[in-house]
């Protein structure tokens, strides 16, 4: 099994989720006492969150690129960014390494295309919903139409994620808000919703949504395990 490198700490709650799901998937696949071979580099979220909020994405990119190089030096065969918003600097991470970055949007795009879904609603942080790093990849690579909530709902969802979920707080009111936002995306024509935040699965199970919901973290983890088990050494950027 190849060694999976993970850039974590954005937040540690999301890193813990990735670690648990990855090892559970390895056990289901391999049985016995198997788990996934991995190395996790944990960043301090406070500084990264402040840089992102101030729009200092070049600095965020430099921090994540440094983490990626450290993972490569530790022997990682490929790298995951264990946060959706962190993919805003995916290009900087890819440029810093010789080993591949497994981009989180790609397994989602493949899953949606396989089920014939052409319009998807996007749920995540303000960065994920308003910046183009996620929506453009889905549109350009998979031909998907991506719908996002209106500004007030984006702000409300971002606040829930950053001020509650990343601190481990889960409330019924937040769950109700999330599902209502998803329902409005469905009413606008979304054939599915992408649960595109590592913390959101903590808040609501997938079958609670009005339309099929795709957990991007679970898809990312499954794709990582598949690569670790089946692929020969990939070329840089693969």
CA of residue 6 relative to chain centroid, distance: 12
Q: How far is CA 49 from CA 10, 16, 27, 148, 163, in A?
A: 8, 18, 33, 22, 11
Question: Does 171 have pLDDT greater than 90?
Answer: yes
Task: Collapse the DSSP code of 40 into the 3-class scheme (helix H, G, I; strand E, B; otherwise coil) and give the result.
Answer: strand
Least confident of 6-15, 35-44, 179-188: 6-15
Q: How far apart are CA 169 and CA 119, in angstroms?
A: 31
The answer to whether the beta carbons of residues 193 and 185 sit under 8 Å apart is: yes
> Rounded to an integer, what distance in angstroms lies between the CA atom of residue 45 and that of residue 8?
9
Inter-residue contact 34 to 26 (CB < 8 Å): yes
**What structural domains does the chain harbor?**
4-103+218-230 (3.40.50.1860), 105-216 (3.40.50.1860)
Write out pLDDT tens, residues 46-57: 999 899 989 999
Q: Residue 140 pLDDT > 80, yes or no?
A: yes
Mark 123-143 as b/e (b = at least 16 C-beta within 10 Å).
bbbbbbbeeebbbebbeeebe
pLDDT digits (tens, 9 = 90+) for 61-119: 999 999 999 999 999 999 999 988 899 999 999 999 999 999 999 999 999 999 999 99
Q: Is cis: bond before 11, omega within 30 of 0?
A: yes
Distance CA 105, CA 134 (A): 6
Query: What local confidence, expressed as pLDDT, does residue 235 receive?
Result: 40
Q: What is the pLDDT of residue 206?
A: 94
> Do 236 and 98 meet the contact criterion of CB atoms below 8 Å apart?
yes
The yes-or-no verdict on residue 230 having pLDDT over 90 is no
Q: Which of 39-43, 128-132, 164-168 has the lowest mean pLDDT?
A: 164-168
The answer on pLDDT for 232 being more than 70 is: no
Q: Is 139 helix (H, G, I), strand (E, B) or coil?
A: helix
Structural contact between residues 162 and 125, judged by C-beta atoms closer than 8 angstroms: yes
pLDDT at 231: 59
> What is the mean predicted confidence (pLDDT) over 209-219?
95
Give the predicted TM-score (pTM) of the model: 0.86
Alpha helical stretches, state H, 54-120 = 57-73, 90-96, 105-114
- As to burial, measured by CB atoms within 10 angstroms (0-12 exposed, 13-18 middle, 19+ buried), residue 236 is exposed
pLDDT at 188: 96
Kindly indicate the confidence band of residue 233, based on its pLDDT and cuts at 50, 70 and 90.
very low
């Amino acid at each position: 099994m190849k060694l999976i490198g993970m850039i974590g700490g954005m937040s540690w709650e999301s890193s813990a989720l990735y670690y648990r799901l990855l090892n559970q998937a390895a056990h289901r696949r391999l049985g016995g006492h198997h788990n996934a071979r991995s190395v996790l580099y944990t960043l301090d979220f406070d500084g990264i969150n402040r840089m992102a909020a101030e729009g200092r994405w070049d600095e965020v990119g430099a921090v994540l690129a440094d983490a990626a190089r450290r993972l490569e030096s530790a022997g990682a065969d490929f790298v995951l960014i264990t946060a959706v918003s962190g993919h805003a600097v995916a290009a900087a991470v890819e440029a810093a390494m010789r080993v591949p970055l497994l981009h989180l949007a790609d397994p989602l795009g493949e899953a949606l295309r396989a089920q014939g879904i052409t319009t998807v609603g996007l749920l995540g942080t303000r960065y994920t919903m308003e910046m183009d790093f996620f929506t453009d990849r889905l549109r350009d690579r998979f031909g998907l139409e991506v719908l996002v909530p209106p500004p007030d709902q984006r702000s409300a969802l971002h606040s829930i994620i950053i001020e509650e979920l990343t601190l481990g707080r889960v409330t019924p009111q937040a769950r109700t808000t999330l599902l209502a936002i998803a329902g409005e995306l469905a009413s606008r024509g979304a054939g599915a919703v992408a649960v595109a935040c590592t913390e959101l699965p903590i808040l609501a199970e997938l079958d609670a949504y009005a339309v099929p919901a795709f957990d991007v973290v679970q898809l990312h983890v499954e794709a990582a395990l598949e690569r670790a088990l089946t692929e020969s050494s990939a070329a840089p950027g693969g």
